[in-house]
Amino acid sequence: EADIYQTPRYLVIGTGKKITLECSQTMGHDKMYWYQQDPGMELHLIHYSYGVNSTEKGDLSSESTVSRIRTEHFPLTLESARPSHTSQYLCAVSLNTEAFFGQGTRLTVV
Amino acid sequence: DQQVKQNSPSLSVQEGRISILNCDYTNSMFDYFLWYKKYPAEGPTFLISISSIKDKNEDGRFTVFLNKSAKHLSLHIVPSQPGDSAVYFCAAPRDSGYALNFGKGTSLLVTP
């Protein structure tokens, strides 16, 4: 099982600020993902990566960007936060079909 | 178009009784299904899975049943415990890669 760390756990930030949500894993798996989830809704894939220097957008249109410079690190950045970005952001890692999730970041933009 | 559907947003069960959570899917190419459990403000944790070559998989109190002809699977929890109270998500890997399609989840409440 992968150890996945997300920071911060909670973030309240003002509109227009730039933020980076951190995601790190210690198992060396190539496949990493960012999902976005709101209460009562499914998890929506917003970004994924199958290895270093590989990033793709998911199904849900997102104004965020990601990078994958190192295998263990997959940060997500919002250049200018808006209230519509308020959500829970979940980072995941998979080796095969099972995905393992971090504890998530609950983002609130005021 | 949502390919994994959980049509019951919530379920309430008494402690000790059976909880049955249902999931339907539309894509007959799905060959693997997973159930995740999620507490508020935390990430989902993997619970149990089933391959499409099986119709049942059991792990302790948790059993998943798959009916391929009906494109339906269910998660049974017996006996239910208050600590099982959480949101349960059904998921299936996409056609390409290993990202998952998720249902909207069913919120289970187990009362003492």
For residue B97, name the pLDDT band (cuts at 50, 70, 90).
low
State the nearest Cα–Cα gap between B24 and chain A, in angstroms.
14
Q: Is the pLDDT of residue A1 over 60?
A: no
Backbone angles phi, psi at B82, to 5 degrees: -55, -35
pLDDT digits (tens, 9 = 90+) for B8-21: 999 999 999 999 99
State the nearest Cα–Cα gap between A2 and chain B, in angstroms.
12
B28 Cβ contact partners less than 8 Å away, ≥ 6 residues apart: B68, B71
Domain containing residue A69: 4-109
**Would an 8 Å CB–CB cutoff place A33 in contact with chain B?**
yes
The percentage of residues in chain B with a pLDDT greater than 90, rounded to a whole number, is 86
Which has the minimum average pLDDT: A12-16, A52-56, A92-96? Answer: A92-96
For chain A, what is the domain count?
Answer: 1
Cβ–Cβ gap B93/A97 under 8 Å: yes
CATH number (domain holding residue B41) = 2.60.40.10
The CA distance from B27 to A2, in Å, is 29
> Rounded mean pLDDT of A78-82?
95
Predicted pLDDT at B41: 82
Query: Of B42, B95, B98, which to mutate for an interface test with A (greatest number of A Cβ within 10 Å)?
Result: B98
Q: What is the mean pLDDT of chain A?
A: 93
Q: Is the pLDDT of residue A49 over 60?
A: yes
Q: What residue of B is the nearest CA neighbor of A33? A: B99
For chain B, what is the domain count?
Answer: 1
Cβ–Cβ gap A99/B102 under 8 Å: no
From the CA atom positions of chain B, what is the Rg in Å? 13
Q: Which residues of chain B from 67 to 96 reach within 8 Å of chain A, CB to CB? A: 89, 93
Domain containing residue B39: 4-111
> Rounded mean pLDDT of B43-64?
96
Helix (H, G, I), strand (E, B) or coil at B90: strand
DSSP code at position B27:
-
Cβ–Cβ gap A42/B103 under 8 Å: yes
CATH number (domain holding residue A30) = 2.60.40.10
